[in-house]
Structure 1
Amino acid sequence: MSAATATARRRYRSPVLLLLCFFASAPIHGQPDVLGFISIDCGIAEGSSYTDGSTRGLKYVSDAGFVDAGAGANAGVRPPYSQQAQPARYLNVRYFPGPAAGARSCYTLRELSPGAKYLVRCGFYYGNYDKLRTLPAFDLYLGVDRWATVNVTTPDERYILEAVVVSPASFLQVCLVNIGLGTPFISWLDLRPLGAAMYPEATLKQSLLLLNLRRPGAKYALNRYHFWRPATSYGVFRYPSDPYDRVWQSYGDVAAWTNITTTAAVNVSNASSFDEPSVVLQSAATPVNATRLDFSWTLDSSLSPNNGNSSSTAYVLLMYFAELQQLPSAALRQFSILINGASWNSSRRSYAPKYLSAEIVKMVLVQGSGDRAVVSLVATPEATLPPILNALEIYSVRQMTQLKTDNVDAEAMMTIRTTYALKKNWIGDPCAPKDFAWHGLNCSYPSSGSAQIKALNLASNVLTGAIDPSFGHLKSLQHLDLSTNTLSGPIPDFLAQMPSLTFLDLSNNKLSGSVPAALLQKHQNGSLILRIGNNTNICDNGASTCDPDKKEKNRTLVTAISVTIPVATLLFVATILILRRRRNKQDTWMANNGRLSGPRERYNLFENGQFSYKELKLITANFREEIGRGGFGAVFLGHLENERTVAVKICSKTSSEGDKEFLAEAQHLGRVHHRNLVSLIGYCKDKKHLGLVYEYMHGGDLEDCLRGNVVSPN
């Protein structure tokens, strides 16, 4: 337990202070409360919360901040199940309908400490919430590893699962997976921080799953027991009796057992599972007129790593002992601990509890499928008193073998998902398990370590706003496609700092400003394929950095010629206006010099500004940089021999403008006048190739300039 958590627990001992504290400190946006607790009622309305009646002040909140927005639906349990005496957290569920098996729905628990231990607990109460009376079965996952199968066999039974886990990152995910046997649902979900010394068997590579077998007389199928016989039935202890809010239930009445109790505090300095005295340890079971105490369990198939098909499972048994009676000097309580009739520890053949001082005896055993484990506490021949047992826990050991996504990559992808409100199938871990990998990702799966994201395709995903810095955290990313969205703002410098990036497509967005010099350098030296075409406000469109002395001139260096056929047709007006003016001057000169004495000679209107198709290929570097597209065709960046920058528009083969129409339409519309047309430099009519060559349009999109500026024909 962290110092901050311990201080918080000492500070809020008073029930009144606890109540006030938790009313003021409910988790917000998926964060823990002041004790580090997360308590979620899955199914209540967003923004709502309440104080749990079975604890002193723990507040349960809506799951809206923990599950993806819009995921699943809420429902209440139905009569007669809703009319039974139930804690509030069992009266509603969130369910996740899906069209087929394989769908994954996840809760993300945030603001955790990487490498810290946590208890994760969840509850399920069907209660005919869907009015179908169809009892489902589905899988539960801790991160990328399967936890258990939730198999609902009766509508009014409460199913509770607990696990002790080490969080590999600042977040932990609990996922429900549809296995084709009904709709997954959940009633509530808890997370509790544990002390660092507790449950040392729980590591990053393995978790402890609390045995989930119901025994006669027990309220829940949770194998964590105390041995009080309280007046009220079952006798469940949790927070604040247990500062970690573990649920301890009574083992129940056993005719051959009785119990001894004390009101004195039990020292727990030798019991790492407790950091302060607990009522749980103030009672102990002991046999009546006998010298042995036996208990047993069988394999829990729901926790089997292979859905019950595992040949063997490892278990950890924790037994708590403390002598509760002040024994006279002649009395001796001493016993052996046997497992299936054999000594559990060859070096320690007997055990004697210490007065008011708790200790833990731990047993690790491997149990075959269908086997029954029997534990016996047997008094030694020297003993004058029978054995005792104060409490016990039984855990199944689960190896966490699945590769998960690198923590930094996973955090970055979850931020990207949130920033752009992406739905898709982006739930849970981005890369793992492979069957659940997010759409649009390519991941590498090494033989050891973490999966890494190599490619990310978010083309045509309606992304808006700036390019989020989280993209820069994907250090192994080689291929990034953000094309055909409405991203705006400058191209960020961090894109040039991504060490593995070899392909970047930012085309067809609304990005602006200059291209970072480092990014251009990578493009020019061949280490990066860079696509930035059709961003109307990108300075220079990647040819070079912006010249500060020509800032005003180059404010919009991508000429926005991606306009429709009607706008392209208006370009022909410029052709006619310019060339008719030239022809009139030529005719006047010829008339004044006696050159028109006979019939007018045929004059090629375009002869001074005509380009061959081969010349256009040279000007545009073989049409390398497309900067626009419209109904008439594509527009390419070009440079003349005098370094004058031009735009070259090529008639596409599918354009409605043909060979004859190219000239006929221009002549027909020659009467239209327009005062804001770009300067036409020339044209190409080379066999089947038609094109226009003109200067950049400065100050914005040509289409914007044309609107409202066309005057009627003469």
Structure 2
Amino acid sequence: MFSKTYLHNFSISLIHLDRERKMSLGFLVPLLLSLAALVFVHGQLQTGYISIDCGSPENFNYIDYDTGISYASDGAYIDTGINKNISSKYAYPNNPNLALPLSDLRSFPYGNKNCYTLAPTGGRKGSLYLIRASFLYGNYDGEDKLPEFDLYLDVNLWSVVKFRNASNVVTTEIISAAVSDTVSVCLVNKGLGTPFISALELRPLNSSVYSTEFGSTASLVLFKRLDIGYVNGTGRYSSDDIYDRIWSPYNSASWDMVSTSSAINSNENGYKAPLQVICTAAMPHNASDPLELSWTSDEDTSKFYVYMYFAEVQQLEKNQTRKFNISWNGSLMFGPLAPRYLYAATISNSEAFIGKEHRISIYRTRDATLPPILNAIEIYMAKQLEELPTFSEDADAVLDIKRTYQVNKSWVGDPCGPKNYSWEGLKCNYSVSLPPRIISVNLTSRGLSGMISASFGNLSSMESLDLSKNHLTGPVPEFLKELKFLKFLNLEGNRLSGYVPTELVVRARAGLLNLRVDEQNRCGSGSCKNKKKIVVPVVASVLSALVLSVALIMLYRLRRKRKSEADSSNGEGRPLPSKKRKFTYAEVLNITKNFQDVIGKGGFGTVYRGDMKDGTQVAVKILSPSSTQGSKEFKTEAELLMRVHHGNLVSFIGYCDDGSNMALIYEYMANGNLKDYLSYRSSNSLSWEMRLRIAIDAAQGLEYLHHGCKPPIIHRDVKTANILLSENMDAKIADFGLSRDFPSDDQSHVDFPSDGQSHVETTVMGTRGYLDPEYYSSRRLNEKSDVYSFGVVLLELITGQHAIIRKDESMHIIQWVSPLIERGDIGSIVDQRLHGEFDVNSVWKALDVAMASTTPSSVHRAAMSSVLTELKQCLDMELSHNRERTQGFSEEIYVGSYNSTEMSSISTVTEPITIPFAR
């Protein structure tokens, strides 16, 4: 049997051979390294890992016996760069502790942006990952000049990579949610030396951990990760840490270390610190002293999130108590806390610590006999995601173009990002709040062959397209005329057949398009080759096309009229009323300034902001040709909005029914929808009073539909995304495309059961999470279906959770909140962003209303009018509470700073604790 040292030294010696010898021994190295792993590695490797030894020879895969992690060469992840080995001065055996992946690297002397594309197994948009990049310069280029370059995750800056000396190993970690099913890690050359990278690792995370108030609008860059009270650890416990974090051992001369050899239960703790980390802790020498950690950041606006790990590692006597509070910069943040024996818990701040100087103090309470402890701590700096990825349809289009024509290898990462580092040959238009759009594609003299890809037609904002001097064949495509913003088109120097679409020739003659095509592609008449005579055939073509278009339009409208009349006769549809509110498509284009400002998207298509002639801002909903919501639903919404008028329903301004172009125009709601406002991405925070007012507004709108309209109307799609907020935060119900009159005019479809409730049988429509389960199973619709959906909305307002909560597995909000209600755990139920500032009785009453509204049987749900009355009482209670508070009364409230899982793991030791809230 080989000795551990021999195998280690032998494998590292092989790693440091030049590339040729490394390649020649490639069959032997994996064998020996695998043998070492089988003998010495404990624990199974985790699934979902991506571990890349950057710069290693192609197909050179091995298992690092120290960690048990399997590393692969990077050829499958990147097409650019040059493989290099570090100088022997910094390699083994001169550096015996050097990690295997750091012995070589990949350098990028060419191109400003070079990117690795990672495709995690089962990865999708929103998946949470820990990504680690490592760099060792080691004078690999013989120039002994330390480079500096930027590291990006997708389109946003991750870190500036710089070195103290040639032997300095720089490692940086980031936790981020994926913006698509792949992840791009990009190195950007900013003129201060050639970028390179030694190792790149990706680890999937449980989506319930490391959450912040920013959600998907920020990433977390590791600042410090400390294994408190331990100084001899390796720092990496791959067989025990499912996230493969690297922990830095840390202790202080003023602290005592305590530990246990017993197993610690972390089943209730999604952060799952490894046993070697959580089984040790530190406490101050003097029991009355606080246990303190401090750090300084570079900027006053830096934002930090801290994750503190606690587990009691000593079996306490009956007369001993360990209880403590936690403060940040002198302000109480958490506590009192009493760690449970051999059970792990993690405490984190739900809102960022902002500033330059930071001090965490953990100090015992007056009734405690033992000093405070801390087992481990992670400190992350929030990195705001200031740039957006390229508009998805544009990105998909150019990726397809890349695949079709095998465009050069420099097309990597995001097409437009980071800003000013777009793909060669592309130009992008950048906006503060909207994704970048591709406006120019220049692929002249690129050796393109085959037909012009239809994907060019999907670049709907393109202003310039140059495909000249290639080997393109086939017809000049008709879809080019659909590019409304096209100002320059060059197809010269190809072998295209057919003629340029007439519309493009007309735009060129009008000076709206710079059109460059070969002579044979200009038009079908031989006289076209004489440029002086080109006007006659062009005008003739235009007139012919115009006559044909008019005829087709008249025929189309006649058929639509007949169909509409037929629909009206059988009760399946009605023509749109009130022509005085009708707009032409040209007017819609003018109102929206050619659809410049996108403010929303849905199954129907896209919503744009617009301006009327009098300056009134409006929202314009355009029906997409590929919409999942058909013209019938569009007409239903327009027709309904014509006849309903209420302060809590969006005001209808008009509609467009111009050929195949259909649009609805209604009042603009400056604060968007409630779903976005409640999300953790939002920088805004709603007080409990404001949440009640929004609920009351929405309830009033629904109560009007149910009881103020004749016949009554059932909305059928009540959800937070369909509750819009005005500039003054007035809430209004929107989106009536699925709404139905109730009872129906066709009484043959209406039943009146013994419970007194009438219902109508209909196709099930609505949104997952908000859909009444009784309606879903029976297809019998009544007004109580809206009551159920509203009850879910009310739960979202109370808890800050989504209707469908996605953690380890999807869970409905009712399933999530029910056990907490049974335990009376109001602190874990209420949205943590309220910071305990609410009247507890008001919240409990609102919870009762929400749960009564969401009972499985509709007969047990209250009518909307009763729900409205109850909510107004909730508001009265909250207003009374606020008046008492402003008059100087002090009260006790629940500390609500724990995540629900963390609260449950601690509350088994201590009763729910109330303390005066510091205001």
TM (normalized to structure 1)? 0.61
What 5-or-longer segments of structure 2 have no aligned partner? 1-33, 39-44, 541-919
> In 1, distance between residues paired with 2:137 and 2:274?
37
1:80-479 → structure 2 map (5 Å cutoff): 80-83=89-92, 84-85=95-96, 86-97=98-109, 103-110=112-119, 112-201=123-212, 203-211=215-223, 223-227=224-228, 229=230, 233-252=232-251, 254=253, 256-269=255-268, 271-274=269-272, 278-301=275-298, 310-340=299-329, 342-345=330-333, 348-363=334-349, 364=351, 366-369=353-356, 371=357, 373-423=358-408, 426-479=411-464
Q: Is the 8 A contact 1:176 1:184 kept in 2?
A: yes
Give the CA deviation at 1:110. Answer: 3.2
Letter of the structure 1 residue corresponding to residue 323 of structure 2: Q
> In 2, distance between residues paired with 1:237 and 1:295?
25
Q: SS of the counterpart of 1:89?
A: helix
> In 1, distance between residues paired with 2:416 and 2:446?
20
Q: Is the 8 A contact 2:496 2:521 kept in 1?
A: no
> In 2, distance between residues paired with 1:497 and 1:456?
16
What is aligned with 2:613?
none
Give the CA deviation at 1:130. Answer: 1.5
Instruction: Verify: 1:40 aligned to 2:37, yes or no.
Output: no
> In 2, distance between residues paired with 1:104 and 1:239?
32
> In 2, distance between residues paired with 1:482 and 1:618?
23
Q: Is the 8 A contact 2:227 2:247 kept in 1?
A: yes
> In 1, distance between residues paired with 2:67 and 2:250?
21
Deviates more, 1:409-418 or 1:76-85: 409-418
Deviates more, 1:281-290 or 1:487-496: 487-496
Instruction: Verify: 1:72 aligned to 2:53, yes or no.
Output: no
Give the CA deviation at 1:82. Answer: 0.5
What is aligned with 1:709?
none
What is aligned with 2:581?
none
Gap change, CA 1:225 and 1:470, over 3 Å in 2 = farther
Gap change, CA 1:284 and 1:623, over 3 Å in 2 = farther
Letter of the structure 2 residue corresponding to residue 78 of structure 1: S
1:296-695 → structure 2 map (5 Å cutoff): 296-301=293-298, 310-340=299-329, 342-345=330-333, 348-363=334-349, 364=351, 366-369=353-356, 371=357, 373-423=358-408, 426-489=411-474, 504-511=489-496, 520=501, 522-523=503-504, 533-534=517-518, 541=521, 543=523, 620=530, 622=532, 624=534
Letter of the structure 1 residue corresponding to residue 246 of structure 2: V
Deviation per CA, 1:403-446: give whole Å up to 9, x if none: 43213323433443454344496454322344323343232223
> In 2, distance between residues paired with 1:45 and 1:412?
33
Higher helix share: 2
Give the CA deviation at 1:485. Answer: 0.4
Give the CA deviation at 1:503. Answer: 5.7
Q: SS of the counterpart of 2:444?
A: coil
Gap change, CA 1:59 and 1:468, over 3 Å in 2 = farther
Q: Is the 8 A contact 1:460 1:483 kept in 2?
A: yes
What is aligned with 2:832?
none
What 5-or-longer segments of structure 1 have no aligned partner? 1-18, 24-32, 212-222, 302-309, 545-556, 558-615, 626-635, 640-714
TM (normalized to structure 2)? 0.48
Gap change, CA 1:60 and 1:497, over 3 Å in 2 = farther
> In 1, distance between residues paired with 2:505 and 2:195?
53
Q: Which has the larger radius of gyration?
A: 1
RMSD: 3.8
Q: SS of the counterpart of 2:88?
A: coil
> In 1, distance between residues paired with 2:328 and 2:188?
37
Q: Is the 8 A contact 2:251 2:282 kept in 1?
A: no
Q: Is the 8 A contact 1:459 1:481 kept in 2?
A: yes
Q: Is the 8 A contact 1:313 1:396 kept in 2?
A: yes
What is the count of residue pairs matched by the alignment? 490
Gap change, CA 1:181 and 1:465, over 3 Å in 2 = same
Q: Is the 8 A contact 1:261 1:284 kept in 2?
A: no
Q: Is the 8 A contact 2:46 2:242 kept in 1?
A: no
Q: Is the 8 A contact 1:266 1:277 kept in 2?
A: no
Gap change, CA 1:162 and 1:618, over 3 Å in 2 = closer
Letter of the structure 2 residue corresponding to residue 474 of structure 1: L
Q: Is the 8 A contact 1:523 1:530 kept in 2?
A: no
Letter of the structure 1 residue corresponding to residue 113 of structure 2: R
Letter of the structure 1 residue corresponding to residue 58 of structure 2: E
Percent identity at matched positions? 35
Gap change, CA 1:34 and 1:419, over 3 Å in 2 = farther
Q: Is the 8 A contact 2:132 2:174 kept in 1?
A: yes
Letter of the structure 2 residue corresponding to residue 359 of structure 1: A
Q: SS of the counterpart of 1:177?
A: strand
